[in-house]
Amino acid sequence: MTLLTIDDLKNTQGAILGIDPGTKTFGLAVSDSTRLIATPIETIRRKKFTPDAQKILALYADRNCGACVIGFPINMDGSEGPRAQSVKDFALNLQNIQDIPIFFWDERLSTAAVTRTLLEFDTSRAKRAANVDKLAASYILQGVLDRLRA
């Protein structure tokens, strides 16, 4: 599997697709072509890998993306657990279908930060559940976009 460094990512062209891979869903977000703003797109309920991957890759192509950022679930102590291995396997399998540039970004506390924000805005439980994954993908992607500009 070929993973990008932050410098490699700077040298790619096009929008960036952000993925927050969960155990039950994939949250998806995309940047604008100038890579300033991350926008949540949708949440895909996980079913089988191939149809899920085809949907993700179709969004990647439709949005003219040049790279993909995948949230990487590192443990709070900095170690990698079973979820991190699952994300690595997902990325490898995705690249086996289509060789796209992939960059991992530490996603620690992204869902918690998004949930806290939604609670501050008094968002209903149903709306939080429907939106948290794609908003987490947007949060992860925005972190990368901010880092690219730094």
Q: Where are the domains of the chain?
A: 6-149
Distance of CA 140 to the CA centre of its chain: 6
Q: How many angstroms separate the CA atoms of 93 and 73, rounded?
A: 17
Mean pLDDT, the chain, rounded, equals: 89
Of residues 96 and 114, which shows the higher confidence score? 96
Helix ranges, 79-124 (H): 82-97, 110-120
Ramachandran angles phi, psi of 43, nearest 5°: -115, 130
What is the predicted pLDDT for the residue at 1?
Answer: 72
Environment class of 122 (CB within 10 Å of its CB; exposed 0-12, middle 13-18, buried 19+): exposed
Q: Does domain 6-149 have CATH number 3.30.420.140?
A: yes
Q: How many angstroms separate the CA atoms of 9 and 122, rounded?
A: 36
SS3 47: coil
SS3 124: coil
Residue 33: pLDDT band with limits 50, 70, 90: very high
Task: Specify the pairing of strand 102-106 against strand 25-31.
Answer: unpaired
Question: DSSP secondary structure string, 63-77?
Answer: TTEEEEEEEE-B-TT
Residue 3: pLDDT band with limits 50, 70, 90: confident
Residue 63: pLDDT band with limits 50, 70, 90: very high
- The percent helix, strand, coil of the chain (3-state, each to 5) is 45, 25, 25
For residues 92-113, give the mean pLDDT: 86
